[in-house]
Structures are given as C-alpha cells and as structure tokens.
Structure 1
Amino acid sequence: MRSIVLFLQNTRTTALVSNRLVHTTAPVSWQRFENERHFEPGEDVMKRVWHGLTYDFRRWKRRFQEARKDAFKRRHPVAHMKHGTLDNEVFPYRAEIIIIGGGLTGSSTAFWLKERFRDEDFKVVVVENNDSFTKSSTMLSTGGITQQFSIPEFVDMSLFTTEFLRHAGEHLRILDSEQPDINFFPTGYLRLAKTEEEVETMRSAWKTQIERGAKVQLLSKSELAERYPYMNVDDVLLASLGVENEGTIDTWQLLSAIREKNITLGVQYVKGEVEGFQFERNRASSEVHAFGDDATADANKLRAQRMSGVIVRPQMNDASARPIRAHLIVNAAGPWAGQVAKMAGIGKGTGLLAVPVPIQPRKRDVFVVFAPDVPADLPFIVDPSTGVFCRQSDSGHTFLVGRTPSKEEDSQRNHDNLDVDYDDFYQKIWPVLVDRVPGFQTAKVKSAWSGYQDINTFDDAPVIGEHPLYTNFHMMCGFGERGVMHSIAAARAYAERIFDGAYINVNLRKFDMRRIVKMDPITEHCRL
C-alpha cells in the first residue's frame, strides 16, 4: 500500500514539474478568430444563434487576458479588450460617425471625437480620395497663423490653435515614440492700412483682438519706418503687428502627426470616393404635412427622408460601390464640399433643399522666391488693398509669396486650369513687393504651385453645423486660407456639440446654414 502511495506522489510531482517546464504554444489572436466555429446558413439554428450571442463575450475575455500581459495595456485592460482586430483591413459596413475628407479639417474632427470618447464601439470612419489629395488646401497651404481678425470667434479659434500647437508634441505623441515636429516658425503678421477707411477698420479690429487676449501692436508711420528701415512706408497710415502667438507651420507634418495619432485611437481611414448617400423614410411624418398641399410628391419624399449612410467606391481595381451606414455624417471635403452636398440633393430641390452649400474650389498660386538682398527679419506682410502677401519659408532669404484676388476678379478666373500663372506674379505681385521692399528687385522664382482652397462664395466665412433639414448631416467646410488656424479649433467645438449638446468654449452657432437660408452674410473686415 505504501509503495502505491509513493508511486502516486512521484507521478504527481513529475506532472507538476512537467507543467512548469513544458510550455504549449497558444494560437495568436488572428488564429483564434479564424478557428471559431463556422455555421452554414440553416445548419443547427439553435447552436448558431447561441454562438453569435456569446461570441463577443468570449472575444472580450480572451482580449482581457491578453491586455493584462501587455506592458502598455495592463493598467486599463478593460479599455483594450474590445479592440477590433481586423478594422484596418476590412471595409466597414457601419459607423457612428462618417467624415468625408481626410485633410486637416476632417482628421482634426476625428481626433477630437475619439479624444473625447475612446471606445471601440464608437466607430469613426474617415473617407478620403487620394486622387484629389494633392490638390487639397491642406497640402498646398502656406501654413500661416494670426489673430488679426475683426470677428471675435475667429480670434478665439486662432488663440486656441496656437496654444494647441505649442503643445502639439504632447497631444499627438504616440506611446514612447518621439514627439512630432510641426516646424513652427515664429513671425508676426504685418498688416498695412493705406486709407482712412482701412485705418478705422484696423483700429476697431485691434480693440476686438486685445479684448480677446491677442498680442497685437499698432504702429504709426514713423514707428514702422524706425522698426523696418529697409521698407517703403510712404503710403502707409497705420500698421498692426502681431508680437506673440503668430507664425507659420508645416501643414503636412501636422496632418501626418494627427493621422498617425488617429489610427492609434481607433479611427479608420478608407481610401475611396463618395458617390452618393443612403436615405430612409423618417417616421416623423407630421413635418411633411406642414409644407402644405402644394408640394409635389417628390418634394414630400425628399423632406420625409433621413440620411442613413454613405455610398463609397473603394479605390481599387474593379471595385463596386458599397454603403456604410452611419448615425452622423460630416462633410469636411474641403474645396469639394459643395459637390458632396449636391449628391445629397442639397441645392437641387425646393424649400430648404433649394439653398446650396456655397463652397467652391478656387485656384490659388504660391511662388517660392529667393531674394538675397531682403533682410532676414522681414515679417509676414499682408497688403489688404492689393491682396499680396509675403512670408519667409524658413530662416534665410527664401520667401513664399502670392495674391488673394478680389471677389469680382475671382469669379472671372478659370479655376479648372491648375497651371501656374506666372504672368500674375510678374505683373501684379512682384511690382508690389519691389515697391514695398526694394530688395526684391534681385529676386528669382525658384518654384511655384497651384492648388484649391474651399472658398465660401456667399460671405467668405466657414459653414459649421447641421443642415436645417437633414439634421444628421453636418458641415465643416469653407475655411479658405484660414483652414490651418481655425479647423483644429472648429473640430474641438464640434466634438463639444456632439458630446455636451452645445458649444462650450467658442460659440460657433452663427456659422451654420441658417444665415445662408436667411441671406444674412457674416462680414470679416480683415482680409488675408
């Protein structure tokens, strides 16, 4: 009997040693996903239903155990146990929010949404078209940031953007990677007033800027000549100079950092082109009868339906368009936001649908100029009367120059042709620069590019907020040359509107579609 007991004890000891020394290889996550039981349609219906109901719990349990073994997930394993393994590989069929446009506006909107609510079940999908990406306003922007505006909300948004960019390395850092560098180059904006009307506008705007906390200084003609002796200021009556929180950044570096951060937060980028929208009938039919009996059947149908998704054609060979259902849809398509709205019938119907989203792609030329005789402390010059601007590309003697045309001239331009108009530089830009700073006489054009900006042809102000009829269709477009300095702040305000129900820090309610319906434009007196 004792021998049997000793034999059993030795066997148990051997088994314990074997369990400690012999390790079996567990299948990785994707193998376990593939090895799940598959049921054909009609096969063992009860077990198939039970498998579908319990699969999420088995998956969460498995990922909870995996998160506890990960150095970066151990402190919050519950937040990681619902991570989608194949989200970046499988074309999505549903999302809480779909953002049309992957530029700075769309990516910033996705960033603030996921920054506020980091959960896998809150799915944010960004649809972007690679064919138009190289023409977008973000990629070809000069990257200027200023607070010299007459509208208080513009000043507040610029102030927030500068504060965000000051700590962009911390906000956009990924785990223990190096902090992203957006190449911020501090330089103040110098705005020039040459008539009494421009002087009054500048003084009024300066008071608004100071009240909002901007650091802007007014300079008389003598003070301006003393500060910049190489500049011709005979025709200048007054000037305003930003002394803090103004400069330029590399927009491509900023966009890359935001996109990489978004991917780590769970945002899915889809390469595709939006071809249309899905609609479903709205059960609230009482609103339809309020239009009266004169409305046609088609008009009633448009007013009674609700957006339920986006039809996207993936950018791959022989791919067919497929729908992505969503609760909210954000139109952040930049210069093509007006065309996207037309796909939804906005601007093609009657009543509220007869009012289009007045965003049009407008061509802008930027010239890279090397001027060795121009001093290196030249500020960012803005001449509102001619629309000419000039800024340093980097510390040295390379400058980015261009011109913002008037509304009358802009409406007569051919914006379909993206060839660089060098005649515009030699006839309308260079003479102004030489007259202002004689050192530009020896300047040489190194390169140039043309791109689109999303210009609001109604009042040149952004369109932010929901459509009056399709309340789950939101606009984030029309920033124009202010896209870099305002899109990040507008995206933060949009996230507040979604999660808190109202704008908290900066009230952007005045920029929604209601002013376009009522024909009540917003006027910005400080033209860039």
Structure 2
Amino acid sequence: MIKSTAISYTLKMNKLYRPGFIRCFSDDNTNHPHPIKRTLKLLRNDMKKVKQFFTPTSENNIDIKREKDHDSTPLDSSEFQTHCDVLIIGGGSIGSSAAYWLKKKARQGLNIVVIERNSPISNGRAFSTMPVGGLRQQFFLPENIEMSLYGAEFMRNSKDELGVDINFDPQGFLTLASEENAELLNKMSKLQNEFGARTEILTAERLKLKYPWLNVEDVAIGCQGLEKHGWFDADMLVLGLRNKAKEYGVHFIKSELVGFEFQNQPDVIMEGATTETPYSALDKAVVEMSDGETRTIKFAICVLATGSNSEQIARMANIGTGPGILQVPLPIARRENFSYTFKSDDINMPGLGTPCVADWNGMYFRRDGLTGNYIAGFGTNMKSNNESKERIFENTILPNLIRRLNVLQNATVTESLEASYEYNVYDENGIIGTHPYYNNLYIATGFSGLGLQQSPAVGRAISEIIIDGQFRTIDLTRIGFDRLIVDRPMYEYSFM
C-alpha cells in the first residue's frame, strides 16, 4: 500500500496534538451586554435545554412540522458563542447529524456551534435534497452499503431517535441492466447480500411477469431490493436531526463564513510539508451575521459539512491554494438537476406496489402517493443553459419514459423542481475524516446525491473520530482525504 511520509506523520501528529475539549468563557468584545447579564441569560437557556433533554414533552415532537416555516430566526446576538469546542460549518443533513451525534454522546461535555448561511428548509422543502428521498443499498463499495443499511435502521427507529416519523415508504428499488453491464450488477448483488442488504436478481422473463407494464426488450436482468429500500420524507429527517440537536443544547447561528484566522505553531514540524513557513493551525472562524456585522468564533475542532460549497470554504483554509499538501484541492462541485411530477390518464399505468425503477442510463421514475402522480428525472446532471426545464422533460425525460413504460402514451407535468447537490468530481464518492495538514479540521462532504440517506451514519462516524479518535462502527478510512494525495480513487458503480 502506498503511503506518503506526510500522511504517516500526520496520523502520528493527530494523536499527539489532538486538541483537548477546553471550554473558554472570556469575551473581550465590549459591544456585548454586561457579562453578568449575558451569563445569567445563557444559564437560563442551558437549564431549559437540560430540562428538555431529560423530560422531553410530546409537544416538542408533535409540533416539529410547524418549524418548516419558522426555522430561519437567527440566534439572539447576546447568545452568540465567541468560543466553542466544536464548530460545524453547514446545517444541512450531514452537519445536523454530526451535531446530533456529538451532543448525544458528550451531553453537556461539549459546546457545539453550527453556523449556516440559510435555513435548510425553503418553501417547505429541504433545498439540500433531491426530491426522490431515496433509500437503497444497491452499491458496489462496502462502505456505502453499510452506511445505507444503518441509515435504514436509523429511519425505522426515527420516532425513538428523533421523535418524528419520516414516513418511510418501503416499495423498493428496481435497477435495470443491459447485457453490457449485467455481470457488474450480478457482482454487486452478491456483495450486497454478503453485507446484509437483501437484493434479488430477476431475469427479463421474471421482470415481465412481475411488472407487465415494463418494456424489457433491451433489458438483460434487474436487481430488486427486497427490504430496506424505498423513499422517505427528506424534510422530516433534516428537521428531526436539527431539532433534536437543538434540544440537546447545540447552538445554531444564522451567519455566513467569510474566512479563517490562523495560529502559527513553530514547534510543530510536518515531514513532507514545506519548511519555508511555520505550521499554521486553524484557530478562528470569521462569520458575517444577518445584520452585516462581522464576528469571530474560536474553536478547538472544526467540521466542514457545507455540501456543494465545500471547495470554496476549503479554499478559505488555503486547501487547494497553499504549499505542499495544501496544494491538493477539495474536489467538490455543485450539480443541478430537475425532477418532474407528472400524471397520465391511462388506466394501465403502474399501481401502488410500483418500486422506484432506475434505468442504466440514469433515468428513474416511481409512483408518488395515492392519486396517480409519478416522479421522474435523471440521476445524472441535466442542467442545460440552452433548454428550459419544460423542454428538458419533452426532449429527454418523456422519450425515455415511453421507451420503458409500455402503457405510457402521454404525460402531463404538474410540477417541476430544480434541485442541487454536492458532487465529488474525483471519484463520485464521499470524503470523511481529518484533513492531513490540519489536525483539527474534519471533513464530511462529497456524497454525490447520497448525503441524505447516509447522513445518520456519517454524523455518527464524525462523532466517533472526534470523541473516540477512531471509527468504531463502520470503518470509513478508505474514503478519507488521504486517497486524493496518493491518487487512489474509490469509484462507486451506482446505476442512479
């Protein structure tokens, strides 16, 4: 196995110089209210949160849906945390999950702050999500299979874990393969079953008998998830994680990161890194509040979970622009896509037991609810500067639907939604773990459309490496940042 000197030394340095969880209470900002008044207010809020933690009321769980339209209220300026143990940048599914797991494990032992530029819910939708809200384990890499299996377990117990029902619909996923990629799909199914994900290979003949509305003339085989496959309410998952983290005492601050402040540590020497300048550690985050005021937050540990904005945030820490190891960028880009809700008057259209069907060209469709609506789209990038979303449906989506559905002659679009997600342009897989240069920076991004279903496992993994110093439940070492340095991509062969 190829290892660089810098990486091996970094692993040692992480153990020797891992920052301790020291709570700092000094505040020299004279523009704030009197320190005694501010402290008393913080203590009152903390006592309320402790009471909620030990004696949660049913009202906290029942009223969670109301927060979809009232969750963007910024934190009172007198409660602003100038110091924290863990600063999480990004309040979406991954950031909220990391906050939830860290606070659940550490209780009052950690002061955790989440900064977010916008509320994760906009117009009743989680804008960090794809509208399919899919849950599946049809992957090639063991890490993704195991993370998605845990996601299914977590969502099944969402009422116990978060006090909310994410409305999981277990209709399953059906992945289709041509002769060209049938062997790969067979291998994937065997591996999935080895790790506990129950999938079944169906021949074209069996597919035709089971789903007579499906055109299988060019289909060699299909792989269907027998359990723990389906879709869920993405908004409720994000809100559940977020609200439970708040209940445990996490501080969410509506602000935008505009930079970092660094602290020179000349006593730290890293092999393989440049010796021209002393080692500089991340020390403070510079944020711009909603009123335009610029403030700083000093932290011991920082978690980068900013989705499609991750590369820009990383550049603020000189990742991708600095010398030595810092020359390697965080290869995350934004991908934009469209999904469509459509209706068809044909009485022979797929019924209530229809799985989400994923074609090998990236198209997917599934039934939506009880009223004869369907959702369709492409898992690949469909954004075009030259075509409107209506033309994309007519020219790209509809012809593929008609080719795959024997009974479909026409479709009427009732709603279209533009969605964006983070995309790892290096190997289309997530990046999780410590950065090889900054021993107090943890990365959790690049899950390329899988962030929602994998967020429970990713948040748990971040809490493990911060609190325990290692992965304990699922070993995600192979999908860390180090693979970018040694150029060992971890490709995922997902059909959607």
Does structure 2 conserve the Cα–Cα contact (< 8 Å) formed by 1:346 and 1:355?
Answer: yes
* Correspondence 1:403-442 to 2 at 5 A: 403-405=378-380, 421-442=389-410
Cα shift at 1:396: 3.8
Cα shift at 1:136: 6.8
2:117 is aligned to 129
Cα shift at 1:183: 1.6
Cα shift at 1:260: 1.3
Does structure 1 conserve the Cα–Cα contact (< 8 Å) formed by 2:53 and 2:248?
Answer: no
Q: Distance in 1 between matches of 2:112 and 2:408?
A: 49
How many residue pairs align between the two structures? Answer: 438
Closer, same or farther: CA 333–261 of 1 in aligned 2, 3 Å:
same
Task: Give the secondary structure class of the aligned counterpart of 2:450.
Answer: helix
Q: Distance in 2 between matches of 1:360 and 1:63?
A: 39
Does structure 1 conserve the Cα–Cα contact (< 8 Å) formed by 2:107 and 2:248?
Answer: yes
Closer, same or farther: CA 522–393 of 1 in aligned 2, 3 Å:
same
2:90 to 94, 101, 111: 101
Residue-by-residue CA offset, 1:255-307 (whole Å, 9 max, x unaligned) = 1122111111001100000000111012434337x656xx6x5xx24xx1000
Please identify runs of 4+ aligned residues in structure 1 that moved more than 3 A. Answer: 70-75, 86-89, 131-137
1:219 is aligned to 202
2:100 to 108, 111, 120: 111
Cα shift at 1:228: 0.5
Cα shift at 1:514: 0.8
Q: Distance in 1 between matches of 2:424 and 2:280?
A: 27
- Unmatched segments (≥5 aa) in structure 1: 1-40, 42-50, 76-85, 174-179
TM value normalised by structure 1: 0.77
In structure 2, what residue type is equivalent to 1:214? A
Q: Larger relative CO (CA 8 A, sep 6+): 1 or 2?
A: 2
Does structure 2 conserve the Cα–Cα contact (< 8 Å) formed by 1:369 and 1:443?
Answer: yes
Q: Distance in 1 between matches of 2:202 and 2:490?
A: 28
Q: Distance in 2 between matches of 1:497 and 1:137?
A: 28
Residue-by-residue CA offset, 1:150-194 (whole Å, 9 max, x unaligned) = 111111111101111001001112xxxxxx221211111111111
Cα shift at 1:74: 9.2
* Correspondence 1:267-346 to 2 at 5 A: 267-287=250-270, 291=273, 297=276, 300-301=277-278, 304-316=279-291, 319-346=292-319
Residue-by-residue CA offset, 1:95-134 (whole Å, 9 max, x unaligned) = 1111111111110110010111110x51111111128864
Q: Distance in 2 between matches of 1:420 and 1:403?
A: 15
Task: Give the secondary structure class of the aligned counterpart of 1:441.
Answer: coil
Closer, same or farther: CA 439–461 of 1 in aligned 2, 3 Å:
same
Q: Distance in 2 between matches of 1:71 and 1:240?
A: 45
Does structure 2 conserve the Cα–Cα contact (< 8 Å) formed by 1:453 and 1:480?
Answer: yes
Q: Distance in 1 between matches of 2:345 and 2:118?
A: 38
Cα shift at 1:137: 5.2
Cα shift at 1:477: 0.6
Cα shift at 1:139: 4.2
1:190 is aligned to 174
2:150 to 132, 142, 160: 160
Closer, same or farther: CA 420–469 of 1 in aligned 2, 3 Å:
farther
2:244 to 261, 265, 269: 261
In structure 2, what residue type is equivalent to 1:447? E
In structure 2, what residue type is equivalent to 1:163? E
Q: Distance in 1 between matches of 2:207 and 2:39?
A: 68
Closer, same or farther: CA 371–525 of 1 in aligned 2, 3 Å:
same
In structure 1, what residue type is equivalent to 2:298? R
* Correspondence 1:240-255 to 2 at 5 A: 240-255=223-238
Cα shift at 1:87: 8.2
In structure 2, what residue type is equivalent to 1:524? E
Q: CA RMSD in A?
A: 3.0
1:20 is aligned to none
2:370 is aligned to 395
Q: Distance in 1 between matches of 2:197 and 2:189?
A: 9
TM value normalised by structure 2: 0.82
Closer, same or farther: CA 396–211 of 1 in aligned 2, 3 Å:
farther
2:5 is aligned to none
Q: What is the identity percentage for the equivalent residue pairs of Structure 1 and Structure 2? A: 31
* Correspondence 1:348-363 to 2 at 5 A: 348-363=321-336
Closer, same or farther: CA 372–242 of 1 in aligned 2, 3 Å:
farther
In structure 1, what residue type is equivalent to 2:117? N
1:208 aligned onto 2:191: yes
In structure 2, what residue type is equivalent to 1:382? A
In structure 2, what residue type is equivalent to 1:236? V
In structure 2, what residue type is equivalent to 1:107? S
Cα shift at 1:334: 0.7
Does structure 2 conserve the Cα–Cα contact (< 8 Å) formed by 1:150 and 1:526?
Answer: yes
1:454 aligned onto 2:429: no
Q: Distance in 2 between matches of 1:273 and 1:63?
A: 24
Does structure 1 conserve the Cα–Cα contact (< 8 Å) formed by 2:304 and 2:442?
Answer: yes
Residue-by-residue CA offset, 1:430-488 (whole Å, 9 max, x unaligned) = 11111111333232100111121100011100111111111211111111211111121
Does structure 1 conserve the Cα–Cα contact (< 8 Å) formed by 2:350 and 2:367?
Answer: no
Does structure 1 conserve the Cα–Cα contact (< 8 Å) formed by 2:85 and 2:301?
Answer: yes
Does structure 1 conserve the Cα–Cα contact (< 8 Å) formed by 2:91 and 2:115?
Answer: yes
In structure 1, what residue type is equivalent to 2:139? F
Closer, same or farther: CA 271–71 of 1 in aligned 2, 3 Å:
closer
1:172 aligned onto 2:147: no
Task: Give the secondary structure class of the aligned counterpart of 1:424.
Answer: helix
Does structure 2 conserve the Cα–Cα contact (< 8 Å) formed by 1:391 and 1:400?
Answer: yes
1:378 aligned onto 2:354: yes
Q: Distance in 1 between matches of 2:87 and 2:484?
A: 24
2:458 is aligned to 490
Cα shift at 1:251: 0.6
Structure with greater proportional helix content:
1
Q: Distance in 2 between matches of 1:139 and 1:468?
A: 29
Q: Distance in 2 between matches of 1:399 and 1:307?
A: 48
Q: Distance in 2 between matches of 1:368 and 1:493?
A: 35
Residue-by-residue CA offset, 1:177-214 (whole Å, 9 max, x unaligned) = xxx2212111111111112x311101110111000011
* Correspondence 1:27-176 to 2 at 5 A: 90-119=79-108, 121-130=109-118, 134=122, 138-173=128-163
Closer, same or farther: CA 74–245 of 1 in aligned 2, 3 Å:
closer
Does structure 2 conserve the Cα–Cα contact (< 8 Å) formed by 1:88 and 1:268?
Answer: no
